[in-house]
């Protein structure tokens, strides 16, 4: 089968011919319907800094794609409970199952691995191929009525966003404010999850792109502001000069982190999700007193089940643009240039017949 592989550090990914994997004991082979192209892949293969980027546990070559949905193809010896052809989504933080963190359902923070899950498509073969071998059946979650050709972004863009919001939900009572800086793939999910899980929080989106701001409004943001000093002033005004209880930085570069420190409130949460490599200015008054800073990584398997529920209830969804595997590098280029409006999803060769054009637009999940 063909697979989009990272073959070396600081080298663009390459389409290569690789064997179709055979599921061993306890494993499941999934026929990939779509694999999402996440901005993290760019951090992985562009890699401005030497050394492995966050989450990259092993060396190339490996197949990219950590956001996958498809159909159960074949079960390894000992696996039961699935029907071949059943639509499923893949949880990507593959753990050992026996360390204290895995036992507590925190595969994303395995301290035996230095605090990070290994992550498929970030060291282990991911889903930008015809088939994906999943090492444990518990990581394959039935989608029920959801279409795997639309659902892939739930497993990272949706899941990471859900975890980032949920850890701060206790701050988001009536009258509170949440700022989402960067309304791309993750930011759009974050806005919808904030809308779904809070009752009377003012949700403010900030982005450099007018189209993304329009989408943010469409997805439930109360305010959508072009990034810059005016956005900072506007957020201060909206919050009676107090700042927002939660600031989610989905970009993570110097200017967005600087803004985050300025618009977060005393006792608030400043959550850095973006891997932009910027530095947060920290001194006694910045971020404000007792504002906690966190950098969450992906999320837990139970949270993926919650995300699937939200999608089934049509509370969250993602506009997807479909690209055949042969055009995956074009998708990454467009992502890099800020020209993907929701999520680019890659279609493996066998499935390409259901993509008439290189890019098709705006089909919500669900």
Q: With beta carbons less than 8 A apart as the criterion, state whether 354 and 347 touch.
A: yes
Pick out residues in 28-47 that bind Zn ion (CB under 5 A): 38, 40
Strand partners, 204: 179, 223
Ranked by CB distance to Zn ion, the top (closest) residue is 38
Which of 184, 287, 317, 319 is close enough to bind ligand NAD by CB under 6 A? 184
Q: 251 contacts which partner out of ligand NAD, Zn ion, none, CB within 5 to 8 A by kind?
A: ligand NAD
Give the E-state strand segments of 260-319 in sequence order: 264-272, 292-294
| Minimum CB distance to ligand NAD smaller for 65 or for 184 | 184
Which of 183, 260, 264, 318 is close enough to bind ligand NAD by CB under 6 A? 183
Residue 113 belongs to what H/E stretch?
A: none
Alpha helical stretches, state H, the chain: 39-46, 100-103, 148-151, 157-166, 185-197, 210-218, 229-238, 254-263, 301-312, 328-336
Binding residues with ligand NAD: total (CB under 6 A): 33
> Cβ of residue 156: shortest distance to ligand NAD, in angstroms?
5
Q: Is 127 in the site for ligand NAD (CB under 6 A)?
A: no
Q: Kindly state the tokens that stand for 141.
A: 């979650």
Give the E-state strand segments of the chain in sequence order: 2-6, 14-17, 28-37, 62-63, 68-75, 87-90, 131-134, 140-142, 177-181, 202-207, 223-226, 244-249, 264-272, 292-294, 320-324, 343-347
Backbone angles phi, psi at 334, to 5 degrees: -65, -40
Which of 156, 245, 303, 306 is close enough to bind Zn ion by CB under 5 A? 156
Which of 147, 208, 220, 352 is close enough to bind ligand NAD by CB under 6 A? 208
Residue 81 CB contacts under 8 Å (≥ 6 apart), including other chains = 137
Q: Is 319 in the site for ligand NAD (CB under 6 A)?
A: no
| Minimum CB distance to ligand NAD smaller for 63 or for 271 | 271
Q: With beta carbons less than 8 A apart as the criterion, state whether 94 and 26 touch.
A: no
The torsion angle over the Cα atoms of residues 28, 32, 33 and 36, rounded to 10 degrees, is 110
47 vs 49: CA distance, rounded Å: 5
Q: Is 269 in the site for ligand NAD (CB under 6 A)?
A: no
> Cβ of residue 188: shortest distance to ligand NAD, in angstroms?
8
Q: Is 39 in the site for ligand NAD (CB under 6 A)?
A: yes
> Cβ of residue 312: shortest distance to ligand NAD, in angstroms?
22
127 vs 139: CA distance, rounded Å: 14
> Cβ of residue 9: shortest distance to Zn ion, in angstroms?
19
Q: Is 43 in the site for ligand NAD (CB under 6 A)?
A: yes
> Cβ of residue 40: shortest distance to Zn ion, in angstroms?
4
> Cβ of residue 320: shortest distance to ligand NAD, in angstroms?
12
> Cβ of residue 318: shortest distance to Zn ion, in angstroms?
13
Do the bridges between strand 320-324 and strand 140-142 make them parallel or antiparallel, or are there none, so unpaired? Answer: unpaired
Binding residues (CB under 6 A) for ligand NAD: these are 38-40, 43, 156, 160, 181-187, 206-209, 212, 227, 250-252, 255-256, 273-276, 296-298, 335, 338
Binding residues (CB under 5 A) for Zn ion: these are 38, 40, 156
């Amino acid at each position: 089968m063909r697979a989009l592989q990272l073959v070396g550090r600081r080298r663009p990914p390459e389409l290569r011919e690789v064997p179709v994997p055979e599921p061993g004991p306890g494993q499941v082979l999934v026929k990939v319907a779509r694999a999402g192209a996440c901005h993290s892949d760019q951090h992985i293969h562009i890699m401005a800094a030497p050394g492995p980027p966050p989450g990259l546990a092993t060396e190339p070559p490996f197949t990219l794609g950590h956001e996958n949905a498809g159909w159960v193809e074949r079960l390894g010896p000992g696996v039961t409970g699935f029907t071949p052809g059943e639509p499923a989504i893949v949880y990507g933080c593959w753990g050992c199952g026996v360390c204290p963190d895995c036992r507590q359902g925190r595969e994303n923070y395995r301290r035996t691995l230095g605090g990070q899950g290994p992550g498929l498509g970030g060291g282990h073969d991911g889903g930008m191929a015809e088939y994906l071998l999943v090492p444990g059946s518990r990581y394959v979650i039935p989608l029920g009525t959801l279409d795997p050709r639309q659902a892939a972004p739930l497993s990272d863009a949706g899941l990471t966003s859900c975890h980032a919001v949920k850890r701060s939900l206790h701050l988001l009572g009536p009258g509170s404010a949440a700022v989402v800086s960067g309304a791309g793939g993750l930011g759009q999910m974050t806005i919808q999850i904030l809308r779904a899980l809070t009752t009377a929080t003012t949700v403010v989106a900030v982005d450099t792109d007018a189209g993304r701001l329009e989408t943010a409004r469409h997805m439930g943001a109360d305010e959508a502001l072009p990034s810059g000093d005016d956005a900072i002033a506007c957020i201060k005004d909206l919050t009676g000069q107090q700042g927002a209880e939660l600031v989610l930085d989905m970009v993570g570069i110097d200017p967005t982190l600087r803004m985050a420190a300025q618009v977060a409130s005393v006792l608030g949460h400043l959550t850095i999700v973006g891997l932009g490599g910027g530095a947060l200015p920290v001194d006694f008054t910045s971020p404000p007193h007792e504002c906690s800073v966190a950098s969450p990584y992906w999320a837990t398997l139970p949270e993926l089940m919650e995300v699937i529920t939200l999608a089934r209830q049509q509370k969250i969804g993602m506009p997807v643009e479909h690209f055949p595997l042969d055009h995956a590098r074009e998708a990454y280029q467009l992502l890099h240039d800020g020209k993907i409006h929701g999520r680019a999803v890659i279609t493996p060769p066998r499935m390409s017949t259901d993509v008439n054009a290189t890019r098709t637009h705006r089909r919500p999940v669900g």
